[in-house]
Chains A and B, each alone.
Chain A
Amino acid sequence: MTARQTADVARPASGTPSRIDGLPLRPTDVLPDATIERIQAGSLRILERVGVEVRSADMIRRLDAAGARGDADEGRVRFPPEVVEEALARAPHSYVLAARDPACDLTLDGTRGFLTVDGNAAEILDLGTGVRRASTKEDLAQITRVADGLSQIGFVWQPVAARDTPLPVQPLHELHAQFTNTSKHIQLMTAVNAEQARGAVEIAAIVAGGEDELRARPILSAFQTSLSPLTYDGPALEAAVVYAEAGVPSGFVAMPISCATAPASRAAALVQSNAEILAGIASLELLVPGAPTFYGACGTVMDLRTGAATCGGPEDLLFQMAGAQLARRYGLPSSIGTNATGSKTADWQAGVENALSVMASWLGGADMLCGAGLLYGARVYSIAQLLLDAELFDLVRAMTDGVGDTDEDLALDVIEEVGPGGHYLAQAHTLRNMRSQWQSRFFGRDPWEDWEAAGRPGPSDRARARAVAILAEHHPAPLPDGVEEQILEVIAAYGR
């Protein structure tokens, strides 16, 4: 038996998603002003002196025409500081990520942070067998449906790749799987060229009820990633432009790996990451002035022995917080990698890394916390892990409630009445207030003997059981009649 969960929202009627729990933010600046200014200056120098490689002569020419310094022969685009500054000035400071269900709209204005399921893993731990295998479209659909039922999840990325669908239209299949399984906001990361972006926009417009409707209420956003160090694929920038022209918010995310695709020192990795993100944002604002965009930082450190991404060490935490701090200074919404763990299972190490990472993103003030559910340095997805990560988010959210100090909270009269040596168990004040206490779904609270007798169950066991239950009970709001068919038609058309 379990105590009633205060994290349990009022049971939604089947078909409506839970309301979204945002994380109230009170950002702390992890780096002193002098430090961060040097980093910003370093990035500007890189952008002016080195620039970024853009793998498309056409795009280089366009950027050059729009005010950057493009050199199509060299394949480089450089950005003088004034250009960067002007571009940043054009980008909106805040906007809404809309959702099919308006109760799930998210306002990115720096006051609340929203958790998303994390990104594009190639493998998944099978919910039934626990075995690691390649991910499928059905997995994507299932995870999305679970996310739809969790109040801690604000919006969804593509947690796994739909590897059983044809590559050229894979992102469109992913959108299909997601639009049919959630009425929360969707952020697409896998459409990396103009064609795919156009397909995505078409699908989103169908779901939104028209192009104008999509522009007014963008139920889709997207992002492009740089190729560290200092490179953008031409098609990726073209995709960003397509999105921007349709009114779909389009962000830029850097995922450098220190010692491999970024320098070994923390400051330098940050300088480079910052430069890459600014290059993307500046490019977008030059071509589509005023386009809503965001600043995405997801850096980590290389394992010196194996060369793999480590994910979850203290450097990552600094990158998280510094990234959010930089975004704030630039007046941009931030998307910060969170919950990353290098662990291969939901064990002690994962608990440590998950917990500290959520704290770091919260302290840093991330508008978007990405994201829940990944293991093994972001390579393997686990639905049980999704629930565990959501639990930690919920714990930290409850911490933000702080300590109220009304008379009822201070309880002076109660303290006097109970007096020395008494107890508070049966006091009316206790009965009135005790349900505000945070309840965990997955932490074990049974006595040691019972736990041994039951074979030492752990949090993942409980999480897995709950995931199965959600999949059995939760149904997302269905799409209006005929919409799904239209989506499939679009996919077919792009597949030809």
Chain B
Amino acid sequence: MGAEPAPRIRPVPLRMRLEPLSENAVERIHRAALEVLRRTGMHVRSERLVRALGEAGADVDADQLRVRFAPELVEEAIARAPSSYLLAGRDPACDITLDGTHSYLTLDGCASELVDLTTGERRPSTKADLEAATRMADAVPEVTIIWQPVAARDAPTRVQPLHETHAQLTNTSKHIQQMTAIDPDNARGVVEMARIVAGGEPELRERPIVSAFQCTLSPLTIDGDPLEAALVYAEAGIPCGWVSMPLSTATAPTTPAGSVVLTNAELLGAIAAVQLLAPGAPTFYGVCTSTMDLNSGSIACGWGPEENLFSLACGQLARRYHIPSELGVFGTGAKTQDWQAGAQHMLSGFTSYLAGGDMLCATGTIYAGRVFAFEQVLLDSELVDIIHALEDGMSVSDEDLAVDVIDDVGPGGHFLAHEHTLRNMRRNWLPRYFDRATWEEWEAAGRPSPRDRARERARRILDEHHPDPLPGDVEAELLRVIAAHEG
């Protein structure tokens, strides 16, 4: 046990990487996306914004609300987006700089249900659940960016995003990424609340304790409200990314390259649109492309090779654009933490890491992202811990190589009690949730599962962990903002 306290966040160093696309293939996909934007363009559902984009140089059809972008316009616009910036935490120990050297794990987003920690049953989520989930994530160092893991479904619909923001600002001092304020009014509310907590407008601009993202509607559609919301954030200096989440075979072509082209086109289009109207606004390139079950039409999340390839390929594209990326699917279609969940989470998590995204989404859900589970966050943290251990690689100092020790023990001996072993054995990885009991112990204990252990630990964290409190009257002001937006 070291004397220093454990770090509040554990970013994963990006060293190992996998790039399935050749350079040539990357170029082809890039050019194909530009062609889509030039020829087909995007449907932007706002007359005002279509007009504004036309004035900014896009090729618009006001009647059809269609916006087309010439390739040079896209390239120029993209180049304006900053390639690195700060995502601040209320607690500076949780600050994040997106600079391509590390990957930051996010909490998953906006499940509509969760697995009750007490009963183990699935039920709709509430604001109280969001508070608890946020508070627990505040205590788990592997989680570095806090999305809204569940929807506050018992809050008034109109201001639900503001209730969610309130729940989070009061329950974590890590960086918050707001994904549910998808209209300008709620975005303004989020900005107001963030300013109150940050201490003012210039303070928030300098240290954005909140970032956000909007989603495109696949295929090739941007709704007016989300785009307006993005502009509100841009004005306030709050980084606002774009996430494309087409369903291959349904809202994107069924071929993997086709899905990547479509994803890429949507992101380039949306990012370019904002850069044209608010040059230099910090943003990111977010990918959540998944496959469709061919039989039932359901979404198959984190399912198999295709999703993993989407992450890897989009990672390569994002690097080409020098924009921070948010990639990956740490996902499973399983309905409980069984073998399938373990395999799918590990494969999708590991390939997401190998994809090299700045932000790695996203932990905490099962059933294709629809159901949140407290224990899932902890189980995923085990996987991230393994990746960390892999990243540590192998040091080769003399102590490590231990040639003298090998000589000392000699053929047929053993190392159990050797000083070198006693000195070094604790460096080996120890699981938190994997079971290492003997078979007999395991049977006798009733075959406990990693999930059981994780659930226990989640309960303990919720009992013991208290986030950094907000200063005295700040919370009251936050509630005033919500009330004002409600009225």
Chain A residues 382-432 with CB under 8 Å of chain B are 388, 392, 395-396, 398-399, 401-406, 408-412, 414-416, 418-425, 427, 429-430
Docked complex Cα distance between A314 and B393 (Å)? 10
- Nearest-neighbour CB distance to chain B for A402, whole angstroms, equals 5
Q: Assess A347 versus B394: contact at CB under 8 Å? Given A265-B424, A409-B258, A412-B36.
A: no
Interface residue? A127 (CB, 8 A): no
Interface residue? B1 (CB, 8 A): no
Chain B residues 414-431 with CB under 8 Å of chain A are 414-416, 418, 420-421, 423-425, 427-431
Interface residue? B406 (CB, 8 A): yes
- Nearest-neighbour CB distance to chain A for B416, whole angstroms, equals 6
Docked complex Cα distance between A55 and B130 (Å)? 65
Interface residue? B20 (CB, 8 A): yes
A316 nearest in chain B by CB position: B429
Contacts of B416 on A, CB cut-off 8 Å? 259-260, 307
Cβ contact of A3, chosen from B293, B333, B342, B405, cutoff 8 A: B293
Chain A residues 1-35 with CB under 8 Å of chain B are 1-3, 28, 30-31, 34-35
B253 nearest in chain A by CB position: A411
Contact A229 B413 (CB under 8 A): yes
User: Of B16, B260, B428, which is in contact with the most chain A CB atoms at under 10 Å from its CB?
Assistant: B428
Q: Assess A459 versus B338: contact at CB under 8 Å? Given A314-B389, A405-B257.
A: yes
Q: Assess A230 versus B253: contact at CB under 8 Å? Given A259-B428, A444-B334.
A: no
Interface residue? A264 (CB, 8 A): yes
Docked complex Cα distance between A438 and B347 (Å)? 15
- Nearest-neighbour CB distance to chain A for B333, whole angstroms, equals 6
Interface residue? A140 (CB, 8 A): no
Cβ contact of A344, chosen from B393, B429, B435, cutoff 8 A: B435
Contact A424 B394 (CB under 8 A): no
Interface residue? B4 (CB, 8 A): no
Contacts of B340 on A, CB cut-off 8 Å? 351, 442-444, 458-459
Contacts of A411 on B, CB cut-off 8 Å? 253, 255, 257-258, 261
- Nearest-neighbour CB distance to chain A for B70, whole angstroms, equals 16
- Nearest-neighbour CB distance to chain B for A198, whole angstroms, equals 27
Contact B338 A348 (CB under 8 A): yes
Chain A residues 337-384 with CB under 8 Å of chain B are 342-356, 359, 363, 376, 380
Q: Assess A421 versus B217: contact at CB under 8 Å? Given A444-B340, A460-B339.
A: yes
Contact A306 B393 (CB under 8 A): no
- Nearest-neighbour CB distance to chain A for B135, whole angstroms, equals 24
Interface residue? A231 (CB, 8 A): yes
Contact A403 B21 (CB under 8 A): yes
Docked complex Cα distance between A262 and B418 (Å)? 11
Contact A35 B396 (CB under 8 A): yes
A379 nearest in chain B by CB position: B439
B310 nearest in chain A by CB position: A403
User: Of B36, B260, B342, B427, which is in contact with the most chain A CB atoms at under 10 Å from its CB?
Assistant: B342
Contacts of B434 on A, CB cut-off 8 Å? 312, 342-343, 349, 352-353
Interface residue? B335 (CB, 8 A): yes
Interface residue? A227 (CB, 8 A): yes
Docked complex Cα distance between A343 and B435 (Å)? 6
Chain B contact residues (Cβ within 8 angstroms of A): what range? 35 or more
Contacts of A230 on B, CB cut-off 8 Å? 406, 410-412
Q: Mark the stretch among B39-47, B176-184, B185-193 that contacts chain A.
A: B39-47
Interface residue? B399 (CB, 8 A): yes
Interface residue? A335 (CB, 8 A): no
Contacts of B439 on A, CB cut-off 8 Å? 132, 344, 376, 380
Docked complex Cα distance between A352 and B412 (Å)? 34
Contact A3 B294 (CB under 8 A): yes
Interface residue? A331 (CB, 8 A): no
Contact B407 A50 (CB under 8 A): yes
Cβ contact of A420, chosen from B40, B260, B336, B423, cutoff 8 A: B40
Contact B36 A416 (CB under 8 A): yes
Bitwise, B12-55 to A at CB < 8 A (1) or not (0) is 00001010110011001100100110011111000000000000
Contact A424 B249 (CB under 8 A): yes
- Nearest-neighbour CB distance to chain B for A355, whole angstroms, equals 4
Cβ contact of A347, chosen from B16, B396, B427, B449, cutoff 8 A: B449
Contact A424 B252 (CB under 8 A): yes
Interface residue? A106 (CB, 8 A): no
Interface residue? A164 (CB, 8 A): no
Interface residue? A58 (CB, 8 A): no
Contact B339 A458 (CB under 8 A): yes
Interface residue? A315 (CB, 8 A): yes
Docked complex Cα distance between A324 and B370 (Å)? 40
Docked complex Cα distance between A76 and B407 (Å)? 13
Contact A348 B342 (CB under 8 A): yes
Interface residue? B220 (CB, 8 A): yes
Cβ contact of A348, chosen from B21, B313, B423, B451, cutoff 8 A: B451
Docked complex Cα distance between A264 and B66 (Å)? 64
Interface residue? B300 (CB, 8 A): yes
Count of chain A residues near B, Cβ 8 A: 123
Contacts of B291 on A, CB cut-off 8 Å? 437
- Nearest-neighbour CB distance to chain A for B339, whole angstroms, equals 4
Q: Mark the stretch among A37-45, A64-72, A465-473 that contacts chain B.
A: A37-45
B26 nearest in chain A by CB position: A405
Interface residue? B101 (CB, 8 A): no
Contact A445 B333 (CB under 8 A): yes
Chain B residues 346-396 with CB under 8 Å of chain A are 346-347, 350-351, 367, 371, 379, 382-383, 386, 389-390, 393-396
Contacts of B411 on A, CB cut-off 8 Å? 50-53, 76, 229-231
Contacts of B345 on A, CB cut-off 8 Å? 351-352
Docked complex Cα distance between A267 and B406 (Å)? 12
Contacts of A443 on B, CB cut-off 8 Å? 303-304, 333-334, 340, 344
Contact A398 B304 (CB under 8 A): yes
Chain A residues 312-328 with CB under 8 Å of chain B are 312-315, 317-318, 322
Cβ contact of B350, chosen from A2, A42, A356, A448, cutoff 8 A: A356
Contact B428 A271 (CB under 8 A): no
Cβ contact of A405, chosen from B21, B367, B389, cutoff 8 A: B21
Docked complex Cα distance between A315 and B388 (Å)? 11
Q: Assess A351 versus B344: contact at CB under 8 Å? Given A35-B396, A53-B411, A396-B305.
A: yes
B449 nearest in chain A by CB position: A347
Q: Assess A429 versus B253: contact at CB under 8 Å? Given A304-B425, A388-B339, A444-B334.
A: yes
Bitwise, A469-486 to B at CB < 8 A (1) or not (0) is 000000000000000000
Contact A349 B342 (CB under 8 A): yes
Interface residue? A496 (CB, 8 A): no
Docked complex Cα distance between A227 and B336 (Å)? 42
Q: Assess A345 versus B447: contact at CB under 8 Å? Given A261-B415, A411-B255.
A: yes
Chain A residues 103-152 with CB under 8 Å of chain B are 132
Contact A420 B219 (CB under 8 A): yes
Docked complex Cα distance between A18 and B399 (Å)? 50
Contact B303 A440 (CB under 8 A): yes
Docked complex Cα distance between A444 and B412 (Å)? 48
Interface residue? B444 (CB, 8 A): no
- 26 cross-chain CB contacts under 8 A: A3-B294, A3-B295, A38-B396, A259-B415, A259-B428, A263-B406, A263-B418, A267-B396, A268-B406, A301-B428, A313-B389, A313-B428, A348-B342, A351-B341, A354-B343, A356-B346, A359-B350, A398-B305, A399-B305, A402-B20, A403-B20, A403-B309, A410-B32, A410-B255, A414-B253, A459-B339
Contacts beyond the supplied A317-B390, A410-B28, A425-B249: 14 A-B pairs with Cβ under 8 Å:
A1-B295, A42-B401, A49-B403, A263-B418, A264-B428, A306-B437, A315-B389, A351-B343, A352-B386, A412-B261, A420-B221, A430-B253, A444-B340, A459-B338
